[in-house]
Every structure is written in structure tokens, then in C-alpha cells.
Structure 1
């Protein structure tokens, strides 16, 4: 069952403490305890909840998605996320690293902006993983790009889009 706009509108807003707690589950404790914690609004704007010292930024679960999806990323990956949220091309020549150790929510493997499953957008569910974003397209060519991938092995999500990235399961 997927969340609908009405479902997410009915959910109470998470407190800053809840967002921080969720964000801390995205990466190893040694990373998340010193990371900046932010909350993203519906327009992709970030609000800093806690300033960090290690160059990583963590975000809590997105309440509009059906499952947990907190993430933690380095500076380059954060630039990639900003570009994705703004529907702009990500920066080139800046490889980034992201953690999603709490797992990923259900998502389309082919449409970066899909909000619900359809007969054409290849909805998948991922477990705990890390991601490499911003690589040269030739880097991604050595990994499977199936629309319906085996999520137990490394594969490319959103293949062929400006937001293609390597998904690497960690459990």
C-alpha cells in the first residue's frame, strides 16, 4: 500500500527532535553524530536543525513516502540532491557518496520524480545501501541497468537520466 497526498496531509509534522533521530539512522554513528542535520521542505529548501563538523549532511525520513528513507551525504552528493530536487542538471565532475543504512522506501527505478507506482515506472523496494552519484556515464556502464533490477546486487537507478547513480546494497 502506498501513501497518498491525503495520507501524508493527515500525518502530523515531525518535530525537529524526531527528524534528527531519524537522520541519525542514515549513516554509521561515527558519521551521523558529527553531521549537519537538515530538513527539506516541499520546495527543496533546506532548514538546518543541527550544525555538524565533518562535511556530511543527513536528512530524516520523508513523511510523504511509504517507508523509511533517511539519507546522509557528503558535500558533492548534497549538490546532486539539490539539483535533483530543483529538477536541474547535477554538477559534472563531482562524484558524491550517500548512505541510506535504514533502507530505502519504495521508489521508481526509472522515473526520478514518480510519486506512486504505475504500470510503467518499475517500482522497487531497497534495503540498506550506499550510493555513488555524479560519476561519469562510463562508470555506470559497467553495472546492470535493468528497469526491474535485482536489488541484492549493485545496479544503476534512474539509468540514462541525469540522476543515474550506483546503488550498492550493504546487507
Structure 2
């Protein structure tokens, strides 16, 4: 659990997104615990967020629990180092998938997880799971508010568009053909 928490603290708020400098719209940290909780709760539907554990990064790269949960979901507040709002909320299977991604390990195929990012997401490479900035090769996309299905079998993803430059207004596969492919489902 500690490893997952560290991974979440360091990177999950920026999962599927690049860390870009120069964002002027976001207020500078520190935030109060209540502000962090309020931000995290915007990631998922109210009924899910109300029962979720809320965690936030601490100043040592670890994770601290702001509120215990009861429904198996964990929500994180917006990452102030990325452009755009990107609070996220995920179930236990999605946390395991993200831990595998960050550890460059193969996730368990068939252990399907759900992630919410209803406030939006930031820009990300659609082809390179580890890209941190746009390039001519990595097919940068603007994700917008979405939910993600992770950990499904390849046959599931084959039903959806997996091209490098997708129409992000309809469901599409991000990182197609990699162990970290997942379904992006826009909600607006």
C-alpha cells in the first residue's frame, strides 16, 4: 500500500498527462486540507466522491490521508504543476494498474479498473505512456473531462479506435498496443 501511495503522490495526479511549466491560472500551494478535499471530490460523481478516501501529496513525496473512505475509491486533488484541472478518483484495480504503469511493470490483464477525471485532464501523448512534453512523434492530445477503463483484455480495446490521432470527442484507446492501453471515454 505504501508503494501505491508514493506512486500516487508523485505521479498519478499527472497520469496520462505531461508536466508542463508556465501554468498561470492555478493558485500556488499550499492549500488547506479542506481545499484539497474539495478539489479531489470534483473528480468523481458526488455519490462516489462522498465515500472515497481522499489523499494528497506531502512535502516529502509521500502521501497523506486527508479523509478515510468506505467505498474502495481513492480521490486525489488537482495537481498544481500541470495545466488544466486534473483531480482524479480510482478504484483499487485502477490503482494497481497505475502502480504497474509507473513501475514499468506489466499490469494484470483482466483486472479491470475505473478512473474518473470529471473536471478534465491535461494534455498528454496518445502513443507514449512516458512522454512528458509534446514532440513530433508522440501525438499530443487534449483529453478533457473523461472516465478511463484500464486493465481490460486486448480484445476489449480492439472494439474502439486506437489510432495515434484520435477524435477525443468519442471513446478512444490511449497508448494503444502497449501494456498500458486504456479506454478514454469523454463525458462532455
TM-score (norm 1): 0.87
Residues 43 and 99 of structure 1, relative CA distance in 2, 3 Å threshold: farther
Work out the CA distance in 1 between the residues paired with 2:66 and 2:119. 20
Write out aligned runs for 1:27-106 (5 A): 27-40=44-57, 45-106=62-123
- Shift of residue 42 of structure 1? 9.5
CA contact (8 A) 1:44 1:86 kept: no
Q: Structure 1 residue aligned with 2:133, among 116, 134, 142?
A: 116
Runs of 4+ in structure 1 over 6 Å off: 41-44
- Shift of residue 41 of structure 1? 6.3
Residues 3 and 13 of structure 1, relative CA distance in 2, 3 Å threshold: farther
Q: Structure 2 residue aligned with 1:4, among 18, 21, 41?
A: 21
Work out the CA distance in 2 between the residues paired with 1:43 and 1:152. 38
1:151 paired residue number: 168
Q: Deviations over 1:34-83 (max 9, x none)?
A: 10011246997533221101111111112221111111111111111222
Unaligned 5+ runs, structure 2 = 1-18
CA contact (8 A) 2:114 2:149 kept: yes
- Structure 1 vs Structure 2 CA RMSD: 2.4
Work out the CA distance in 2 between the residues paired with 1:40 and 1:104. 18
TM-score (norm 2): 0.80
CA contact (8 A) 2:23 2:83 kept: no
2:35 paired residue number: 18
CA contact (8 A) 2:112 2:149 kept: yes
Residues 169 and 42 of structure 1, relative CA distance in 2, 3 Å threshold: farther
Equivalenced residue count is 168
Work out the CA distance in 2 between the residues paired with 1:137 and 1:34. 31
